[in-house]
């Protein structure tokens, strides 16, 4: 498990002293000698953070519009009363639902008792009960409105995440530090972090709206039948594969969709890297390096993705009722192999990875590993500064073959003791079994998903609802993912809760080793240097963060 310092709080008061010369303990020297420059810088940042841009005006307009619509609807309902569904038939389903709620609440206990009384009490009854459930399930699968469900779920998820972003954005506009960080983060650093997060929030919200609109448009206007037909044309007429070769056609579709997604995402990637990251002092990339990474990443994803996709489709077609088990075993194997392939074969294509030089830092890390019996096999340094000033560190490997990779930016921005404290936290994950538990949790999640997918992969009504005449496996998987998104959203939230709990336990482990103060100072430095979110909205952070905020 990699310790992502950026994600510790990167997903931003009240009654504060407004003196812009208030400095945190990380700033040294006599503040009085540069108070005027400090004051001007803080004043400029206050204006940037508190100012309302176009996106904020749009948000306020939507809020006002929603409140107005709700108020008018309530007035209209009060005036029309029971005649509302006759005058406006479109609201009848909601009207009936709300009207039946009291009755549903009253009869619910009796429904539960009826269900309990109907439960089987003998083995033959249990067999019949299961058969009835399976029959009901199969009938439901054939009658679900898959296309409408996909649109509803995509829209609902967008509205939910946008609501969270708006809540977070309100926090980002605050210019006063929370009490909890007032003694450890200067006012200027706090405002710089908010300004950075606001810029990222603006681009993120525009991108989310754009991505959601594209996803819905693909469903409404028949994107999946189109790309499958185009892939078949390319596969048969230009690559000379048989028209019945689904694996070849699927690999072509993967390549075309990867290129399409890369092109659609390119404006946002360019703006984020060369405008936002550049503006806030993080970007070290050149355009040539950016596009070199883009091309290499695309080629690697298409090559490896095609191999995995071909294997997945083959397994699905060559297994029977247990296809969920065999596809699960296949994907688990691929996932475990990737943990070895990425750091040893893929990452060196993008970064220079070399052994950490002999010296005090290496000796301290090796002493730490020996102290807790951590099976450290290799210790590397990576040139993260080649692309960004953000700092990071992670480890990988299984059993007695553990590797630690440290970004040069982390080494430069923290002391030896602080770097060891961060690694002690990571070793705490290993010592407490967090890595294995999270891996097993991921395996269980994928098993449930693949079992559900196995119920739908050969369900013709799923494909027909999206305009497909055939039933290609990967198209079915994409459609299933849209329908399955509510479950994925809930599991995402649960995994983040578990992850944050483990982070506190790993912090406690590092503290027990005597690194408490150094871990605290190291994380503060990383948070300040990375301009992390230091004033997160509770609901936003509860849903999005897998690491606790500062």
Q: Which residues are catalytic?
A: 426, 507
| DSSP three-state, residue 403 | strand
CA pair distance 182, 524, nearest whole angstrom: 12
CA pair distance 191, 214, nearest whole angstrom: 34
Q: Output the six-digit token pair for 419.
A: 């770097």
Diameter of the chain by CA atoms? 88
Whole-Å CA distances, 497 to 300, 419, 493, 549: 33, 26, 6, 13
Q: Residue 228: which of 461, 479, 451, 481 has the closest Cα? A: 479
How does DSSP assign 121-133, residue by residue? -SHHHHHHHHHHH
Q: Tokens 């603006």 label which residue?
A: 202
Bridge-based pairing state of the strands 393-396 and 376-382: unpaired
CA pair distance 304, 121, nearest whole angstrom: 52
Question: Which H or E run includes 394?
Answer: strand 393-396
Whole-Å CA distances, 131 to 127, 135, 518: 6, 6, 61
Q: Output the six-digit token pair for 485.
A: 């998104």
Beta pairing partners, 3 = 393
CA pair distance 80, 82, nearest whole angstrom: 6
Question: Which H or E run includes 378?
Answer: strand 376-382
């Amino acid at each position: 498990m990699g310790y992502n310092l950026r994600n510790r709080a990167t997903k931003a008061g009240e009654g504060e002293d407004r003196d812009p010369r208030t400095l945190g303990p990380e700033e040294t020297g006599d503040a009085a000698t540069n108070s005027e420059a400090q004051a001007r810088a803080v004043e400029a940042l206050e204006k940037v953070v508190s100012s309302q841009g176009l996106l904020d005006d749009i948000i306020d307009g939507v809020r006002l519009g929603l409140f107005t619509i709700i108020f008018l609807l309530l007035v209209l309902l009060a005036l029309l009363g029971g005649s509302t569904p006759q005058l406006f038939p479109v609201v009848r389903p909601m009207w009936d639902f709300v009207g039946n709620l009291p009755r549903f609440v009253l009869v619910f206990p009796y429904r539960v008792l009826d269900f309990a009384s109907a439960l089987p009490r003998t083995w033959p009854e249990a067999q019949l009960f299961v058969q009835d459930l399976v029959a009901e399930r199969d009938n439901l699968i054939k009658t679900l409105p898959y296309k409408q469900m996909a649109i509803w779920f995509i829209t609902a998820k967008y509205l939910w995440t946008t609501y969270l972003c708006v809540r977070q954005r309100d926090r980002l506009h605050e210019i006063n530090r929370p009490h909890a960080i007032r003694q450890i983060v200067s006012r200027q650093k706090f405002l710089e972090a908010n300004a950075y997060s606001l810029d990222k929030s603006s681009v993120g919200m525009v991108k989310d709206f754009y991505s959601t609109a594209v996803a819905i448009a693909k469903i409404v206007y028949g994107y999946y039948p189109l790309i499958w037909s185009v892939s078949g044309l390319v596969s048969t007429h230009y690559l000379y594969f048989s028209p019945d070769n689904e694996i070849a056609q699927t690999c072509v579709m993967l390549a075309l969709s990867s290129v399409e997604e890369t092109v659609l995402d390119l404006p946002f990637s360019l703006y984020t890297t060369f405008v936002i990251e550049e503006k806030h002092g993080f970007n070290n990339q050149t355009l040539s390096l950016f596009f070199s990474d883009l091309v290499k990443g695309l080629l690697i994803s298409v090559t490896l993705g095609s191999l995995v996709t071909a294997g997945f489709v083959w397994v699905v077609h060559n297994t029977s009722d247990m296809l969920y088990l065999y596809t699960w075993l296949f994907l688990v194997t691929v996932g475990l192999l990737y943990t070895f392939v990425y750091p040893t074969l893929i990452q060196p294509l993008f970064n220079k990875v070399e052994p950490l030089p002999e010296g005090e830092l290496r000796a301290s890390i090796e002493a730490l590993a020996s102290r807790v019996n951590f099976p450290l096999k290799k210790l590397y340094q990576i040139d993260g500064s080649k692309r960004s000033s953000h700092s990071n560190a992670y480890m990988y490997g299984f059993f007695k073959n553990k590797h630690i990779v440290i970004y040069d930016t982390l080494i430069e921005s923290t002391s030896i003791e602080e770097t060891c404290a961060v690694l002690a936290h990571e070793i705490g994950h290993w010592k407490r079994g967090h890595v294995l538990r999270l891996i097993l949790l991921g395996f269980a999640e994928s098993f449930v998903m693949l079992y559900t997918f196995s119920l739908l992969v050969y369900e013709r009504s799923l494909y027909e609802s999206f305009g497909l005449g055939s039933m290609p496996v990967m198209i079915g998987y994409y459609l299933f993912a849209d329908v399955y998104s509510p479950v994925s959203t809930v599991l995402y939230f649960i995994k983040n809760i578990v992850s944050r709990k483990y982070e506190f336990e790993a912090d406690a482990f590092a503290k027990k080793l005597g690194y408490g103060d150094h871990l605290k100072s190291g994380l503060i430095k990383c948070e300040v240097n990375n301009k992390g979110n230091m004033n997160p909205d509770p609901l936003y952070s509860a849903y999005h963060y897998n690491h606790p905020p500062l």
